[in-house]
Amino acid sequence: MNKKSESSVIPSDVIMNKIFYVRKHKVMLDVHLAELYGVETRALKQAVRRNKDLFPDDFMFVLTDTEIEIMVSQNVIPSKQNLGGSYPFAFTETGVAMLSSVLKSKQAKAMNIAIMRAFVALRQIFTDNTEIRLAIEKLMTKTENNTKNVELLFQYLEELTEKKQDNLPRKAIGYKIPKKGKR
């Protein structure tokens, strides 16, 4: 299979929209993976259960009731009834990679490559945003320092004007023009 046909399976942005952040991991749900791989969700889950030793907790985990509620409220899962009474599996990037050893169809392999590319692209987006966030924080720190300096400047000006008002009237300084009769 050439590179062009692999990436043309499904656009990367469609795949990225199926990647979620759960338990501090970027994951894809079994229902979305089954859809992308062209298999039934129950068939995907059955293949995973048959090879449970290939999917430790950092590769795949089962969502809790609370996590399911959150996913339903965010429209990730249309409704709890769509799950058919079973809890969804959440696959991390390494878990998705492991799925390619369990699902052996050509479509699954091609889709796995596209999904891996989407995870890499997503990681790059996070990296780029991290750099932007750090630059913004640096600017905010500079702004805070500038604000403190301006406040200090105004404080000094206030002190000077208070001192000026406290002192007695001062004699005028500068060139004095002699009066007409005194020369």
Closest CA to 122 of 134, 133, 114: 114
Taking the C-alpha atoms of residue 172 and residue 155, their distance in angstroms, rounded to an integer, is 27
The answer for residues whose C-beta is within 8 angstroms of residue 109's C-beta and 6 or more apart is 1, 100
Against a cut of 0.85, is the pTM above it? no
* Mean pLDDT along residues 36-59: 89
R_g over Cα of the chain:
34
Mean pLDDT is lowest, of 39-43, 87-91, 128-132, 153-157, for 128-132
DSSP helix/strand/coil, 151: helix
DSSP helix/strand/coil, 150: helix
Structural element, H or E, at residue 26: strand 25-29
DSSP-derived secondary structure letter, 53: G
Q: Give the tens place of pLDDT for each residue, 86-97.
A: 888 999 988 888
Q: Which CATH class is domain 3-132?
A: alpha beta
pLDDT score, position 2 = 45
Q: How many residues does the chain have?
A: 183
